[in-house]
Structure formats: structure tokens, C-alpha cells
Structure 1
């Protein structure tokens, strides 16, 4: 089993869609979208995961899901607990506005389109070096790991989204990405 190393290809893994039960390979999901992917492993029993999942939901709104893949991977064994966790009504703060809604939108029929992809994994994937949850990894459209765990910060993503909305030239976007998420060397 390969390790998840910065600036190297991301290890592949099988994910199970929590809504349909369909299995997908992580790298197929990443590469077929052509978008950068924010991948967060979480568990419903973790208070830190609550904050991270809610932060991801907020970042995924305002059409940002058209620019980036936001992927949650639940590590719990009980799907009922997972859905109860995702559906819990919370107050999201967006600027000065407080909006009440589910922790993560997962319904297509209620007018609020899901912007986060939900998957489950039967066990903690060893290559990703999970020591705790939440654990976030950034993967580029070619499947290369740009951030893993401690060197991930939502501020990097906020800056990327600001610039990505302002700029449509793909070559300029690559320059911005190189500046915001430069290769990290050991």
C-alpha cells in the first residue's frame, strides 16, 4: 500500500455513496471532474468533525461546488448515525447572516441542491496517515496530493475561491494555484 505523500499521486481507495450504495474509486471521481478536490475524513462522534463538516458545507455554497469538489468520507459503521448527524439542523453564519438548515444538505427534492458529495469507508484508509479526525486532503485534477492533514488551511481555499470566481483564464488559474498551494518539500 502506497503512502499519501505531498506532490505525489494520491493513493486510490474505494468509496461507497451514502445515498445510493454505489461504489466509486476516489481517483476516478477526482480525475473525471477536472476540478481540485477537498477530501475530508470525519466521524459523527468527533466534535472537531462537526465544525469541519459545517465549514465545508459553507464553503461549498455560492456555486463553489462548480469550481471544486467537496467530498466528505464518513468513517462510522452506522449509516443511521451518519444521516442523523448530517441532517441535524444547525445555524450557519454566512457573513452577518444566520441561516438555519441541515448540517449538510443531502436532498435533491427540497430546493437546496447538495454541494458536498457524501461517501463512506469501512475502515480508516492507511495510506492517508489518519491519526485523528477530521483529516483533510487537497488533490489536484490530475490526482496529485497538494495538502495532507496539518498543512491544510481553509484560508488557502477561501483565497482560491475568490480568485477562481474573478478569473476565467485557465493558465492564470494555474499560476494562482501554484502561488496559493505551492509544493511543500520536507
Structure 2
């Protein structure tokens, strides 16, 4: 089961990276079809021989859009509706399956790779949770998976879903509710409208640069690294938006989580990142990243001219739409 899941994810990643190679894409779709058949065969076999394990397999069986697109106009709609196609949320055994937690955590985390706004992510997560028997242990496990993913992404959505957890399961799971409350308190300082915590880090020439030095402009704090594939793929879009809005009062501060100076500087030059940059070259121990609770990259924080937080984790079309809202009003 884990082997098939790993192969499935590898094929999907390869497809995303090779969209301009039709011959290779055709081969990948054929391999996905074979993987689909293997998943279905395993699920059918387990349902007949080991029904309990079949319940776990059902939570991990996801067929490829490219071979099963019936009724869907695009891959995103397919993903949202078919990710848990074989799950039976009202099955009482689900209350004791750790894979409910893990499966929902993976789904919630994947929503951050689509480019949705936080409001859209919240809607999709609420739709999923509404399919569970409300207040059940299955619901508790699923909501815990949502919170784990949101904490990993340092998302402000942790607050509304954390409140749900405390309200519904605070008495049944007091230790878990206490941890959730503590995390909610930490995140409250980073909510929309709150002052952004200040920090000072060295620029490429060694000169200290303080975030608050950029007050007076709309600032995108962009946590990235030269070794981060998604960051590098997003850079052309950020460059385009910087060139479009910079003269209107838009600034970017790139905070690198690199450990080596040369790859950092080479990536800045190669990707034509002409905005301001800082790094203490401590990798994930970067002072600003720790201050902002960054656990994955790319991660962005958009500030207003007074240094207050306007939005977090905007990328792609969502970032462009927000900047258009700011500068074209």
C-alpha cells in the first residue's frame, strides 16, 4: 500500500514537472493507469480477505485524474471531490484508525499547493469535516489532522478550527485541547491586522537590514531558499509582480533559509531577484523564520505601510489579486 502510494505521488510530481514534454506525459499517464489498477486490485483483495486493512487502504486510494476525468472539467475539482472517494466516514471502525488523522492532514496540506485563498481553503476543509458524524471520534481525528496541517503551514486558519476542536472535544480530550489553546495564543500575535514582529538580518554585503526600515511601503516578506524547487518556480511570478507594482510602493524582502552563501547569491542573480535580501545562513534556524514560525517554504507575509500584517501565504494568482486590490483601488 505504501509502495503504491509512493509511486502514485512520484508519478504526479513527474507529470507536473514535465508538462511541456508530450511524449513523456503520455508514458506517465499510462504508468498512472497501471498504478490505478494496482490500487483497485489491492483494495478489492483486502475487502475480501482483510476487511479491517481495507478500511485503511480506502483512505489511501486515490485514482489519477488523467485516467478518470469523467464529470470534471479540471484536476482541482477532481482532487477536491475524489481524494476520499472510497472512504466511509460513518464506519464506526474509523474512530480507531490513525490513518483518518494522517489522511486528512495530507489533504489539508495539499490545499496549500493549489494557490487557494485562506477563505477557499477554509470552505473546502469545512466541506470535508461536514461529511463526518459530527462530534464523533472520527470527527475528532479528522479535525486533529486539519490542525496538524495548519500548524505546519503556520496558517491563521488554525484559530477557527482550533476553536472548533476546543468547543467540541475539550472535555473529552483535555490534554489535546490544552495544546491547541497554547498554539492559538501563539498564532494570535501573527493575525491579520497585528503588528509584524521586527527583525534584523545581514544583507548580501553584510550590512544589517531591519524589517521596520521598510515602513512606508507595502512589503512582502518572502521566505525562500536556493534549494527550494517550489520557491524557484514561483520566482518568475514574483519578479513580474515586483516590476509591475514596485513604482507604486511595493517592496519585497527576501529572507533566505540557505546555509551556503554562494548558492544563495547565485540564485538571486540567476532568477533576477532585484529586491532586497537578507540571510543569517542558518538554514531552518534562521532567526526571522523561527520568529514567524515558518515550517515550510515558500512562505510569505504581506505588510501594510505601518508594518501591520495584511495577509500570509499569498502566491500566484492570489498574490496578484491582492496587489491589484491594493494598488488599483
TM-score scaled by structure 2?
0.38
Which has the greater radius of gyration? 2
Q: Deviations over 1:56-94 (max 9, x none)?
A: 1121114x2122012211111211011222233xxxxxx
| Partner Cα distance (1:16, 1:52) in 2 | 24
3-state DSSP class of the match of 2:239? helix
Q: Does residue 1:28 correspond to 2:210, yes or no? A: no
How many residues are aligned here? 137
Query: Which residues of structure 2 form unaligned runs of 5+?
Result: 1-185
TM-score w.r.t. structure 1 length?
A: 0.64
Deviations 1:4-32 (A, max 9, x none): 332200011112111x2110211222x1x
CA RMSD of aligned residues (A): 2.4
Q: Which runs of 5+ in 1 are unaligned?
A: 89-102, 106-113, 167-175, 177-186
Identify which of 13, 19, 26 aligns with 2:199: 13
Of 262, 267, 271, 1:85 maps to 267
Q: Tell me the distance in 2 between the aligned counterparts of 1:153 and 1:80.
A: 26
Q: Does 2:320 correspond to 1:158?
A: yes
SS of residue in 1 equivalent to 2:267: helix
Residues 4 and 127 of structure 1 are in contact (CA less than 8 Å); yes or no, is this contact kept in structure 2? no
Output the CA distance in 2 between the equivalents of 1:160 and 1:136. Answer: 13
Q: Does 1:66 align with 2:252?
A: no
Match of 1:104 in 2: 272
If asked which structure has higher relative contact order (CA below 8 Å, sep 6+), I would say 1
Which structure has greater helix proportion? 2
CA distance in 2, matches of 1:55, 1:135: 14
**d(CA) in 2 for partners of 1:161, 1:85:** 25
Q: Deviation of residue 132 (structure 1)? A: 0.5
**Which protein is richer in strand relative to its size?**
1
Runs of 4+ aligned structure 1 residues displaced above 6 Å come to none
Match of 1:133 in 2: 297
